[in-house]
Structure 1
């Protein structure tokens, strides 16, 4: 009876040690992710630094040009619109027509849509009655515009069309069709039950906030309702927008920045049916070994080893469908816990057989019976701890 208690304590200690190891590892992993997390729209310093230098140089040259020309009246249409010394207010919006692709390994995505902006320019006002025109079309290079660019772009921006239209009162509307890859900050710790916020960051390449200030207008932004907008694996929930001030190292004044956030949720049904259920069944088969008498040692050993090799082969076959990240995701933790408990089943079978061969059959049978409830309880608790640490709010 004493030996039986020692064996039970041994296995309880092992299972507790495994659970504690997973809890500690994921706790430190979460802290590391929180500590190292940076906003993605500041991941392109080279582009911003070059833009900052250009803004400073061009701002100085524009001031000198005004002095030489003797004021704003003699300036051409490409100069800043007169606004009484205040910065020009530019409303910015993004209308998404297609969420084309997402690359989880490179942490970027491809999106198609329209970039829209509007501002007031007295230079372009005209008399609609005399000229018999409701609006005027202008060449982009011949009139002033805020030089909008995507800060977090990960590839070349393919511009389909660009248009500038001025109303009689000088209200200017700008529209540009784009097809671009953008980088974003992905967090796959909860994969495949994760949701992502894909960011679209837009700044003026040429002007800081003393000259241009962005204004977010919801009516200028939105999502197309066409069926082809979403990807099969992702569902678009919402698109929000805001304007923030971004302070660059190379500039004295911050830059106005438009930030659009595309909220997407992964459709997890594929992974439940193709990964979780098959792996769970393999674990259940291993747990069934505790219901077979320890006398059938060869059969129990064969079942345990076969399950372990099957689990390894299965995980290798699905590796291409998992995100290639340096930290553990929920699905990685689930597969690892399955490995551990399949392996512990084999250890328990060998341990019970050892006691049986020594003639202490009572201890062997007792530990084997305890595994009937200890195995599923430990497996469930291990995954509960995993889920708690990954799904609890930061």
Structure 2
């Protein structure tokens, strides 16, 4: 019998081989047709994969999308470069709408191999995006490339996942012209009517209220239904409240004019001009200030 001290030590590297390391780089050429309502975006990108050991592209998949077309530019046992066209899924975050910020992601992961068998590493020199990659009407304002370990079940061995994320926001000039300029014009007309004759004031503000509702409906119809109030919803609530305050003051003035109470008419007119415009301006300022603090946080 051979003494225990004389036995060969166990070769841990033989029983637990090192996982294959695959360097992954993604260069985005273009994002197109970003549809917030459907939560999809079309992407055109190049994927570069390399390893010290032979591997197959069949070992990998795009987790958050469907490949519509691909072309092999180079394909050797240890290095591969492919061109892809894919439709990717996006989880919209509309809390700040229309100043919403979305994350467009390309998620690459092995189909079956766990991190004990294959580990991915970001290939930074081969990763990035073209200066024209932004979707129409949007701007890429940030990017983040990370490797995470994921598992479908608690006791399952995790697998390596490469996430190439791009943060996009709406074009600020387009947002101001499309969303806020018409509403601010309506609010200014409504507040300006405080110096008009009472009968004309009531008719003008009724029309302005209906116009605001139509604009809100048209804009809201372009985004999916969500279970929370967006920035635009709160903005429109302030707008409705402002116009309604002017309408109520106009109604009260007409009522007291009919009852021949000029003192009350003068009192309502005096305080309407001095309370409603500053109150509306203050609410708008607080709302936009909260947006600035939200972005800073």
RMSD after superposition:
2.5
1:244 Cα deviation from its structure 2 partner? 0.8
Partner of 2:5: none
> Any stretches of 5+ residues in structure 1 without a counterpart?
1-81, 125-142, 167-171
Alignment pair present for 1:263 and 2:167:
yes
Pick from 95, 98, 104 the counterpart of residue 198 of structure 1.
104
Question: Which one of the candidate residues 109, 116, 128 is aligned to 1:210?
Answer: 116
Check conservation: 1:114, 1:177, Cα contact below 8 A: yes
Distance 1:340 1:360 in 2: 27
- The answer to whether structure 1 residue 182 and structure 2 residue 88 are counterparts is yes
1:245 alignment partner, SS class: strand
For the residue of structure 2 that corresponds to 1:249, the secondary structure is coil
Q: 1:264 to 1:367 in 2, by over 3 A?
A: same
Shift of 1:144: 4.6
Q: Distance in 1 between matches of 2:15 and 2:146?
A: 24
Structure 1 match to 2:214: 313
Higher radius of gyration, 1 or 2? 1
> Which residue does the alignment assign to 1:223?
129
Q: 2:144 aligns with which of 235, 240, 245?
A: 240
Distance 1:306 1:352 in 2: 19
For residue 39 of structure 2, the aligned residue among 99, 102, 107 is 107
Query: Displacement, 1:310?
Result: 2.6
Equivalent residue, structure 1, for 2:63: 151
Calculate the TM-score normalised by the size of structure 2.
0.85
Q: CA deviation at 1:341?
A: 1.4
1:288 paired to 2:288 = no
Over 3 Å counting, the alpha-carbon distance change for 1:353 and 1:264 in structure 2 is same
CA distance in 2, matches of 1:299, 1:239: 54
Q: Is the 8 A contact 2:32 2:136 kept in 1?
A: no
What's the CA shift for 1:97? 1.2
Q: TM-score, normalised by structure 1?
A: 0.65
Q: Where in structure 2 are there 5+ consecutive unaligned residues? A: 1-13
Q: Secondary structure at the match of 1:392?
A: helix
Q: SS of 1:97's equivalent?
A: strand
Which digits, 9 at most, give the CA deviation of each residue in 1:297-354, with x for residues without a partner? Answer: 322222222222232334345455x423323322232223212211221111111222
2:174 pairs with 1:299: no
- Tell me by how many angstroms 1:200 deviates: 1.6
Higher normalized helix content (fraction of residues): 1
What whole-Å deviation, never above 9, does each CA across 1:79-132 have from its counterpart, x for those lacking one? Answer: xxx9981101111111111112211001121111111111112xx6xxxxxxxx
Distance 1:192 1:318, change over 3 A: closer
Aligned length: 281
Match of 1:164 in 2: 75
Q: Compare the two structures and name the one with the higher strand fraction.
A: 2
Deviation at 1:287, TM superposition (A): 1.2
Q: In the superposition, relative to structure 1, how do residues 85 and 214 fare at CA in structure 2: closer, same or farther (>3 Å)?
A: same
Provide closer, same or farther for how the CA distance between residues 269 and 83 of structure 1 changes in structure 2, counting only shifts above 3 A. Answer: farther
The alignment partner of 2:76 has SS state of strand
Name the CA distance, whole Å, in 2 between partners of 1:83 and 1:323: 55
Residues 239/347 of structure 1: CA separation in 2 closer, same or farther (3 Å cut): same
8 A contact 1:147–1:204 mirrored in 2:
yes
**Counterpart contact for 1:87–1:213, Cα < 8 Å:** yes
Measured in 2, the distance between the counterparts of 1:164 and 1:232 equals 33
SS at 1:192 equivalent: coil
Runs of 4+ in 1 over 6 A off after TM superposition: none
